[in-house]
Chains A and B, each alone.
Chain A
Amino acid sequence: DGGITQSPKYLFRKEGQNVTLSCEQNLNHDAMYWYRQDPGQGLRLIYYSQIVNDFQKGDIAEGYSVSREKKESFPLTVTSAQKNPTAFYLCASSKGRQSVNTEAFFGQGTRLTVV
């Protein structure tokens, strides 16, 4: 079955440590996105990539980094520079540039807790 896989589902890290969240898709989608969700707030865009080896900052990119070396994979690193990293992180993907209106597919999310 095609879909998006995020791992792990729950992640605990000590303050000051970098941590990488995994996102893999087998939908052959060109575009991939990372969002952050906090209680009472809508999803906010961290980074997105429309094609391999290219990505753009979203609204809240500070303290995060990404790479897009393969079409299937878009890992997100939460660095020690992110002041409030505890949150729920969602990865999404959609079809390529030639598609104007495309459905978005979402992973199951990773809940990161920094202690």
Chain B
Amino acid sequence: KNEVEQSPQNLTAQEGEFITINCSYSVGISALHWLQQHPGGGIVSLFMLSSGKKKHGRLIATINIQEKHSSLHITASHPRDSAVYICAVRKVPGINTPLVFGKGTRLSVIA
């Protein structure tokens, strides 16, 4: 069983819809990352969080440490949000230990 599970695997939404992507993990972590991968392949870091909630523009990330679950929300989705969203965790002890990745959620936003 993968240590990091994401759902759904694929998601298609209409422009303007509110989107939620979920991530569950089964190991102790020091931090959780949400990443975005565009069709060209490069990856951009969206959030790094170890507790609570963070917001950046239309993106919101939350984490529940007790339940070992995180969500990424996109409000007022737009076609330019179409990408693969990847959840990754840094396992304890956390000092530059490599990230462990989920398989990603492919999002397509249709105009």
Residue numbers of A with Cβ under 8 A of B are 30-31, 33, 35, 40-45, 48, 50, 58, 88, 90, 92, 94-109, 111
CB < 8 Å: which of A41, A104, A109 contacts B103? A41
- In whole angstroms, how far apart are the Cα atoms of A15 and B36 in the complex? 32
Cβ of B13 under 8 Å from chain A: no
Number of A-B contacts (CB under 8 A): 70
Chain B residues with Cβ below 8 Å from A43 are 86, 88, 99, 101
- Given known contacts A42-B86, A107-B42, A109-B43, what 8 new A-B pairs fall within 8 Å (CB)? A40-B103, A41-B103, A43-B86, A48-B98, A90-B41, A102-B48, A103-B45, A106-B44
Whether B45 pairs with A100 at a CB distance below 8 angstroms is: no
Whether A99 pairs with B44 at a CB distance below 8 angstroms is: no
**Residues of chain B at interface, number, CB under 8 A:** 26
Please give me the residue from chain B that is nearest to A89 by CB atom.
B41
CB < 8 Å: which of A94, A107, A111 contacts B96? A94
Please give me the residue from chain B that is nearest to A107 by CB atom.
B42
Closest 3 CB pairs between A and B? Answer: A42-B101, A106-B43, A108-B42
Chain B residues with Cβ below 8 Å from A30 are 96
Please give me the residue from chain B that is nearest to A30 by CB atom.
B96
- In whole angstroms, how far apart are the Cα atoms of A95 and B90 in the complex? 14
CB < 8 Å: which of A42, A95, A109 contacts B2? A42
- In whole angstroms, how far apart are the Cα atoms of A42 and B9 in the complex? 11
Chain B residues with Cβ below 8 Å from A45 are 98
Cβ of B95 under 8 Å from chain A: yes
Chain B residues with Cβ below 8 Å from A35 are 101
A75 to B: closest C-beta gap in Å: 18
CB < 8 Å: which of A40, A58, A97, A99 contacts B98? A58
B66 to A: closest C-beta gap in Å: 19
- In whole angstroms, how far apart are the Cα atoms of A109 and B84 in the complex? 15
9 contacts between A and B (CB under 8 A): A33-B98, A33-B99, A43-B101, A95-B96, A103-B33, A104-B88, A106-B45, A108-B42, A109-B40
CB < 8 Å: which of B2, B4, B35, B96 contacts A102? B96
